[in-house]
Amino acid sequence: MHGTVSREQSGFRERVQSFVNSQISEERADALDKTDEFPHDIMKSMAREGLTAVNVPVQYGGEGGGDLEVMILCEELSKRCPALSWTLGNVILYGNNIIGVNGSEDQRARFLPGLAKGQMLFSFGLTEPDAGSDAANIATEAQLNSDDQWVVNGSKTFITGGTVANIVVTFARTAPSRYNGITAFLVDTGHGGFSWSKIHKLGFRGSDTATLYFDGIPVAPEMILGGPEGLNRGWEQMVRLLNGERLSLSACALGIAQAAFDAAVKHVRQLPPPAMAGSRQTTEHRLAEMAAKLEAARALAYHTAWLHTNKMECVKETSMSKFFCSETAKEIAAGAMAVMGPDGCDMALAAQRRLRDVLILSIGGGTTQIQKNIVAKTLGL
């Protein structure tokens, strides 16, 4: 595809498609949306299939893939059930990727084998009530106590998988510097000072999102991300993850858009012939525009992934991809509903769910407006 995906990666896509078709029915996707309960059963199936190991290095029991495989996985899961790309993200993004990219050797050895087997869940604790787009404005803090333990106090919100995570990668202020005073701690949620309250969302239901509370939780220096030398380096560690995160969110958008587009085309094909030849031109042209935009979005995202995989500078491209894919997918999901008429807003059909799901993709992981700020900066503006 687009000359950017290897034969092995195409084979991996087929493997994921086969898994989705055999293990995740439309009914199960619908039930996940209705019940809004974390799908532990599907997570086990994904682990059995090896999907939790996709981006873990071979020496830690993984398949040795990278961000492109993660994209393929997110795109294919999102065609059927986008929330699963986020629940799996509690392993492959917030676990495998964070530890793989930023963890110390001890942390890799300690966590990656279990993550690869799907035995652990990680969450990414950055956002706070007053630190959304202004992410560096965090108020959660950690102070060193007399036992040389860092004690974390504060709260985080909109944390994906926050109700089920074993470890929350928690960004806390450890020095006054806006960017160089932030440290990422691997907080064990088994501690009594940890609690959460679930947030009920419009879409991506089943990927438990929560507000988290940290009340005097002690963390050993070895559990600073990257080890003791990771102190005050949380921001730069986070920045290293951004390209991969933006690409995986782009892929979620592509999956939703493709499914929305396919459903709209199917709907029109099934309509009785128009009373007058050519009278359906408006709808046909609308679908033609959707097809073109979807193709353009996919080309941008996978080209960017190729740059990223080949270690080329691509901050501009990942931000472009993130906002272009999510905004295009939003337009396609809404357009598909309009094409389908009243069926588009029938809760028994998936069209409306795709719009509910896609709307978070232009907000989470950096809003469209923040991505455009970044692109403008790379243009020297």
Partner 1 sequence: MDEQLSREHKMVLDAVRYWQKKKCPRTDVMAWDENGEYPADILESFKELDFWAMGVDEEYGGTGRDLTGAGLVVETLAQMDPVLAATYGGDVFLAASEIAEAGTDDQKKEWLPKIAQGSIRTARVFPREGESMEFIVKDSTCILKGRASQAASADLFIIEAVEAGQAPEIRHSILVPAESQGLILTPSDMLGFRGAGTAGLECDGVKVPASSMLGGPDRGITAKRNKQLRGLGDLALAFLATGIARGAMGYALDHAKSRVQFNQPIGNFPAISEKLVTLSMQVRAAGLMARSAAALAHKGKSFESQAAQAALMASGAAQQAGLDGIQITGGYGYTLEYDAQRYMRNAMHLSCAMSDTARIRETISGSMGL
Which chain residues interact with partner 1 by CB under 8 A?
127, 130, 132-134, 137, 157-158, 199-203, 271-272, 279, 282, 330, 334, 337-338, 340-348, 352, 355, 359-360, 362-364, 367-369, 372
User: Cα–Cα distance between 312 and 310 in angstroms, integer?
Assistant: 6
CB-hemisphere CA count at 13 Å for 105?
Answer: 0
- Nearer to partner 1 by Cβ, of 45 and 367: the residue is 367
Tokens of 135: 């992410």
**Of 209, 220, 214, nearest in space to 189 by CA:** 214
Tokens of 265: 């085309």
User: Cα–Cα distance between 216 and 224 in angstroms, integer?
Assistant: 16
- Nearer to partner 1 by Cβ, of 26 and 346: the residue is 346
- Nearer to partner 1 by Cβ, of 258 and 326: the residue is 326
Strand partners, 144: 150
- Nearer to partner 1 by Cβ, of 79 and 201: the residue is 201
**Of 373, 269, 365, nearest in space to 326 by CA:** 365
Minimum CB distance to partner 1, residue 243 (Å): 22
Minimum CB distance to partner 1, residue 352 (Å): 4
Minimum CB distance to partner 1, residue 372 (Å): 7
- Nearer to partner 1 by Cβ, of 7 and 200: the residue is 200
Torsion sign over Cα 329, 330, 336, 339: negative
Minimum CB distance to partner 1, residue 205 (Å): 10
Minimum CB distance to partner 1, residue 369 (Å): 4
Cα Rg, the chain, nearest whole Å: 21
Distances in Å between the alpha carbon of 166 and those of 214, 228, 345?
14, 21, 37
Do the bridges between strand 167-173 and strand 122-125 make them parallel or antiparallel, or are there none, so unpaired?
Answer: parallel
- Nearer to partner 1 by Cβ, of 265 and 334: the residue is 334
Minimum CB distance to partner 1, residue 346 (Å): 6
- Nearer to partner 1 by Cβ, of 232 and 367: the residue is 367
User: Cα–Cα distance between 201 and 356 in angstroms, integer?
Assistant: 9
Minimum CB distance to partner 1, residue 309 (Å): 30
